[in-house]
Amino acid sequence: MMVLTKKMIEIRSILQTVGQSSALTLPSIVVIGSQSSGKSSVLEAIVGHEFLPKGSNMVTRRPIELTLVNTPDAQAEYGEFPALGLGKITDFSSIQRTLTELNLAVPDSECVTDDPIQLTISSPHVPDLTLIDLPGYIQVVGHDQPSELKQKISDLCDKYIQPPNVILAISAADVDLANSTALRASRRVDPRGERTIGVVTKMDLVDAPRGASILNDKKYPLRLGYVGVVSRVPPQTTGLFKKGSGSISAAISKNENAFFSAHPIEYGPEAGLSVGTTTLRKKLMHVLEQTMAASLQSTSDAIKQELEEATYEFKVQYNDRPLSAESYLAESLDAFKHSFKEFTEHFGRPQVREMLKEELAQRVLDLLAARYWNKPVPDLSPAPPEPDSLADLPNADPESLYWHRKLDASTSALTKLGVGRVATSVVANAIQAHIDRLIAQSTFASHPFARQAITEAASGILNERYYSTSDQVENCIKPYKFEIDMEDGEWSKGRENVAGVLKNELQACEAAVKNVEDTVGGRRKLRDVMTFVDRARKGDVVVEGDGASGAGGFSSALLQKGREAVFLRDRASILRMRLAALKSKQCASMKNKYYCPEIFLDVVATKLTSTAVLFLNVELLSEFNYNFPRELDIRLGRGLGKDEVERFAREDPKIKAHLEVIRRKELLELVLSKMDGLRALEVEGKSRRPSP
């Protein structure tokens, strides 16, 4: 029973997933022959299908590692290219096209390469075999081919015909065997003819006595013998058996049988010669099985060696620490959720309030700048003000409708600026930024896939809650759009608070001036250009156009900086004045609110903030904190398939290497145990077989 080859083919496919190592290659049958010797025809006769590339332009440029898998219980016949992941291909003409493409992908300038194409053909009609088809030997190099091609092909073949491989040396009957390149190559590496099978094709092209004498060759005797075949598809059947589609076995063997039985004296049983494709197939199976058996021990030793290396690496590099893609993901996810939980404990109402208050304080500053701190109203103070008095609000008359309207309009601009959206955006953006930070600090940082999944989980929830939250907040602050009630306590708190805001702003202004000073190269230079800008503003000097090309001996860039500094200086001086005003007695009382719009608007901002925070907390924050970990579970936990988990873990090169060692170790252990089983089987088989 030929079980060994089958098992070894299984083992080989496992070993291939471990990673090719030359020590681990199992014996194969290597097919060599000159171009047109009939090599392809023999292989196709064995498989029963036309599937090899055809054509005159050196169509076999890469070794084809052909694995035949006998599937006795199946109907279907199909091929697979494991490296391409194209799935099962049942149409053999499609396999032929793919092989042609893969071969022709090797550029003409190179012509041959030793990078093999792997092809597995499964069928109930093929034997279990591993065959390697190589580019045919050529006699002369074509004018468009590299001159060293002959040598390259020969070297490539030499590489494959080494032990323990079996050599299938193809020669055509109509060419003198002494001239057979295949046999000559084989003789070089297998001088005693121990592992070479001679195949003589085109037996139909020589008369029977000559054919018989060829098969009886004594010049290069082979232990495994010569087999004569007629493996061409008979011409009259090619129409019937459409090229590349149906099985050609029946046609070939009918033709071949007819030929050989027509010469019973030379090829009949009495003659004791090996002829026919069927005989060849059986011989191949038998020889391969025996070669496999003979190499069991050495293969097993090689695997043991590899396993020892993997075990050692696992111990030294990874301290024998077990790891699986699943456990890695689960641990990473737990750690991330833990860090998120910690974050939620430090990101609650007080933090949201703080952020919102800051944002609204900025809006208040903008409003004040636009409505109060800009140029004084002409009809209230007709004389052009000196820079220092700019900041002094023209004495606000509490009875004047003008000042009433001004404060009302400012308040309304504040309450109607879209607090709902502003507040929701501020908080949502902050959450998203925090999540990004948590990702960056987690093991997920080196996993693009997970990073994206987490970011999307967060933005998904935030986007979903965005509109309803901002609507809710907007609704709840609605009353403030109509009326603002204020108490003395609130006023004095606001007074204190806004002074802080202005102080910060003043510091920021001063720092910005300093910054401009540094960029232009010194205080003096800046002062000169500022003086020029001031004079130009008063009309003392004339600047052509907008000074885009410079003026007063200053470059346009310097002038720009000068204007910026003048603006900042004016802003700073206003802020100082207003700070003084806030400290003054007038601002102590709410009665003077028209004189102290800063305080009034600050109190409004605080009211808006408190109300917004309540709803943001419920509608956005709590919802997020509840849903986010669940969403993570869906996207990174149970929602992921096995392959995805594996792909995820392997994104990290360190983890990938760790997992690989473990897998390698496990697979090698598995292979080794299978090998041990096979060896036990062999020993048992031998003891039962009668000794010769």
Q: Cα(232)–Cα(45) distance, rounded to whole angstroms? A: 8
Interface segment toward ligand GDP; rule CB under 6 A; list 33-41, 213-221, 434-442, 609-617:
33-41
Q: Cα(593)–Cα(404) distance, rounded to whole angstroms? A: 10
Q: Among 9, 12, 31, 39, indicate the residue that binds ligand GDP (CB under 6 A).
A: 39
Q: Which one, 228 or 376, has the nearer CB to ligand GDP?
A: 228
411 binds ligand GDP (CB under 6 A): no
103 binds ligand GDP (CB under 6 A): no
36 binds ligand GDP (CB under 6 A): yes
Q: How many CB atoms lie within 10 A of CB 364?
A: 22
What is the distance between the terminal CA atoms of the chain, rounded to a whole angstrom? 18
135 binds ligand GDP (CB under 6 A): no
Write the DSSP symbol of residue 619: I
Q: How many CB atoms lie within 10 A of CB 436?
A: 14
Write the DSSP symbol of residue 382: -
Residue numbers 492-531 binding ligand GDP by CB under 6 A: none
Q: Minimum distance between the CB of residue 68 and ligand GDP, rounded to whole angstroms?
A: 18
Q: Minimum distance between the CB of residue 42 and ligand GDP, rounded to whole angstroms?
A: 7
Give the residues across from 605 on adjacent strands: none
205 binds ligand GDP (CB under 6 A): yes
Q: Among 35, 290, 311, 592, indicate the residue that binds ligand GDP (CB under 6 A).
A: 35
Q: Which one, 35 or 381, has the nearer CB to ligand GDP?
A: 35
Interface segment toward ligand GDP; rule CB under 6 A; list 31-39, 391-399, 638-646, 662-670:
31-39
Q: Cα(415)–Cα(621) distance, rounded to whole angstroms? A: 23
Which of 422, 139, 293, 115 has the alpha carbon at shortest distance from 682? 293
Q: Which one, 47 or 461, has the nearer CB to ligand GDP?
A: 47
Q: Cα(293)–Cα(676) distance, rounded to whole angstroms? A: 12
Binding mask 212-251 for ligand GDP (x = CB under 6 A): ------------------xxx-------------------
Q: Which one, 202 or 569, has the nearer CB to ligand GDP?
A: 202
41 binds ligand GDP (CB under 6 A): yes
375: region left, alpha or beta (phi > 0 left; psi from -120 to 50 alpha) = beta
DSSP, collapsed to helix, strand or coil, labels residue 5 as helix
Write the DSSP symbol of residue 540: S
Q: Which one, 141 or 588, has the nearer CB to ligand GDP?
A: 141
Q: Minimum distance between the CB of residue 306 and ligand GDP, rounded to whole angstroms?
A: 36
Q: Which one, 85 or 239, has the nearer CB to ligand GDP?
A: 239
Residue 332 near residue 444, CB atoms below 8 Å: yes
Residue 345 burial by Cβ neighbours in a 10 Å radius (0-12, 13-18, 19+) = exposed
Residue 492 burial by Cβ neighbours in a 10 Å radius (0-12, 13-18, 19+) = middle
Q: Which one, 40 or 96, has the nearer CB to ligand GDP?
A: 40
Q: Cα(355)–Cα(161) distance, rounded to whole angstroms? A: 76
136 binds ligand GDP (CB under 6 A): yes
Q: Minimum distance between the CB of residue 679 and ligand GDP, rounded to whole angstroms?
A: 38
Q: Among 50, 190, 204, 359, indicate the residue that binds ligand GDP (CB under 6 A).
A: 204
Q: Among 12, 24, 38, 266, indicate the residue that binds ligand GDP (CB under 6 A).
A: 38
Count residues near ligand GDP (CB under 6 A).
16
Residue 476 burial by Cβ neighbours in a 10 Å radius (0-12, 13-18, 19+) = middle
State which amino acid sits at residue 3. V
Q: Which one, 201 or 472, has the nearer CB to ligand GDP?
A: 201
Q: Which one, 169 or 675, has the nearer CB to ligand GDP?
A: 169
CA Rg value for the chain: 44
33 binds ligand GDP (CB under 6 A): yes
Residue 222 near residue 274, CB atoms below 8 Å: no
Q: Cα(159)–Cα(180) distance, rounded to whole angstroms? A: 19
Write the DSSP symbol of residue 233: P
Q: Which one, 35 or 589, has the nearer CB to ligand GDP?
A: 35
Q: Among 28, 37, 70, 469, indicate the residue that binds ligand GDP (CB under 6 A).
A: 37
133 binds ligand GDP (CB under 6 A): no
Q: How many distinct helices (H) and strands (E) make up the chain?
A: 22, 9
Interface segment toward ligand GDP; rule CB under 6 A; list 34-42, 118-126, 314-322, 650-658:
34-42
* Tokens matching residue 88: 């099962």
State which amino acid sits at residue 144. D
Q: Which one, 187 or 202, has the nearer CB to ligand GDP?
A: 202
Question: Which residue minimizes CB distance to ligand GDP?
Answer: 40
Q: Which one, 53 or 547, has the nearer CB to ligand GDP?
A: 53
Query: Going by DSSP bridges, is the β-strand pair 117-123/64-70 parallel, antiparallel, or unpaired?
Result: parallel
Interface segment toward ligand GDP; rule CB under 6 A; list 104-112, 200-208, 433-441, 632-640:
200-208
Q: Minimum distance between the CB of residue 62 and ligand GDP, rounded to whole angstroms?
A: 15
Q: Among 5, 98, 130, 201, indicate the residue that binds ligand GDP (CB under 6 A).
A: 201
Summarize as ranges the residues that interact with ligand GDP (CB under 6 A): 33, 35-41, 136, 201-202, 204-205, 230-232
